[in-house]
């Protein structure tokens, strides 16, 4: 991912549990900044980059992700205490998501209904990366330029909160798929899984994992160095895609239960 320096804190976003904000970059672009110092921590940012880049590899529309460099001086004059503390705790590399001006949140009641191939691809991706955050209440889908964009993958890759068990969760169904907002339209799941496998081979997984800045992989857990942690992400995700039958079956079952 590109590196961009944060030039100005523009405004906090009204929605969003992690106090995301609109930030102007030194390239004059506007970004939705997701801060390393937020409660969700660096792992949420790791999940954003890996799942986001996998979504892009799969052919979904994803806003560009950048490494957003934050100077500690940026928030010094910020009047809001909570924001000032957040910026102080986030000096260094944060996540920038290309801001889509005028986009609207996808609402399943309002539509438009996505076609089966697209809905299935989103459901398959989310089952693969175990993204629990694409429900009717919180769709994390934006409509922009008549296309559906996927955002907010910070809650994916839950296995990285328990590396000891990660070997088992690599071969596990994803029961929460039953709450996926696009499940009712996902009438082409087997083809979507095949597309995932074709478009996101091991090299694509390696590339997505390589896109994570070292600063977010700080020799945590059983890992002495970032390279070992990257290898563990790649191993888990490739194993999980090989075991797609398990979560595909679970998704089909959940879909059948909808009607």
Ligand X SMILES: Nc1ncnc2c1ncn2[C@@H]1O[C@H](COP(=O)(O)OP(=O)(O)OP(=O)(O)O)[C@@H](O)[C@H]1O
Distance (Å, rounded) from C-alpha 238 to C-alpha 162? 18
Q: Which is nearer to ligand X, 48 or 250 (CB)?
A: 48
**Per-residue b or e along 123-146, where b marks 16 or more CB atoms closer than 10 Å to that residue's CB:** bbbbbbbbbebbeeeebbbbbeee
CB of 94 to Mg ion, least distance (A): 16
Q: Which is nearer to Mg ion, 136 or 172 (CB)?
A: 136
Binding partner of 64, given Mg ion, ligand X, none, CB within 5-8 angstroms per partner class: none
- Which helix (H) or strand (E) segment holds residue 202: the answer is helix 202-210
Residues 6+ apart with CB under 8 A from 183: 119, 123, 177, 251, 254, 255, 258
Residues that bind Mg ion (CB under 5 A): 140, 152
CB of 29 to ligand X, least distance (A): 11
Q: Which is nearer to ligand X, 32 or 196 (CB)?
A: 32
Q: Which is nearer to ligand X, 138 or 169 (CB)?
A: 138
Residue carrying the six token digits 């900044």: 33
3-state secondary structure of 191: helix
**Residue 19 class from Cβ within 10 Å (0-12 exposed, 13-18 middle, 19+ buried)?**
buried
Q: Which is nearer to ligand X, 17 or 226 (CB)?
A: 17
CB of 18 to ligand X, least distance (A): 4
Tokens standing for 129?
Answer: 């990366």
Distance (Å, rounded) from C-alpha 23 to C-alpha 41? 19
CB of 119 to Mg ion, least distance (A): 19
CB of 35 to Mg ion, least distance (A): 14
Binding partner of 13, given ligand X, Mg ion, none, CB within 5-8 angstroms per partner class: ligand X
Binding partner of 63, given Mg ion, ligand X, none, CB within 5-8 angstroms per partner class: ligand X
Residues that bind ligand X (CB under 6 A): 13, 15-18, 20, 32, 63, 97-100, 103, 105, 133, 138, 140, 151-152, 154
């Amino acid at each position: 991912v590109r590196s961009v320096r944060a030039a100005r804190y523009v405004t906090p976003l009204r929605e969003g549990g992690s106090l995301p904000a609109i930030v102007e970059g030194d390239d004059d672009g506007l970004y939705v900044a997701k801060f390393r110092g937020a409660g969700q921590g660096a792992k949420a940012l790791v999940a954003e980059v890996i799942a986001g880049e996998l979504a892009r590899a799969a052919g979904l529309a994803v806003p560009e992700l950048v490494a957003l460099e934050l100077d500690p001086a940026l928030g010094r004059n910020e009047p809001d205490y909570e924001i000032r503390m957040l910026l102080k705790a986030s000096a260094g590399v944060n996540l920038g998501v290309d801001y889509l001006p005028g986009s609207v949140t996808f609402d399943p009641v309002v539509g438009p209904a996505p076609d089966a191939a697209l809905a299935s691809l989103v459901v398959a991706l989310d089952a693969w990366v175990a993204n629990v955050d694409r429900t009717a209440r919180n769709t994390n889908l934006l409509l922009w330029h008549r296309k559906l964009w996927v955002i907010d993958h910070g809650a994916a890759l839950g296995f990285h909160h328990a590396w000891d068990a990660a070997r088992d969760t690599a071969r596990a169904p994803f029961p929460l798929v039953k709450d996926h907002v696009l499940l009712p339209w996902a009438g082409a799941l087997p083809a979507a899984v095949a597309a995932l496998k074709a478009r996101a081979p091991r090299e694509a997984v390696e590339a997505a994992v390589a896109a994570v800045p070292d600063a977010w992989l700080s020799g945590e857990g059983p890992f002495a160095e970032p390279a070992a942690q990257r290898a563990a992400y790649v191993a888990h995700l490739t194993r999980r895609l090989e075991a797609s039958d398990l979560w595909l079956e679970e998704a089909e079952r959940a879909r059948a239960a909808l009607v």
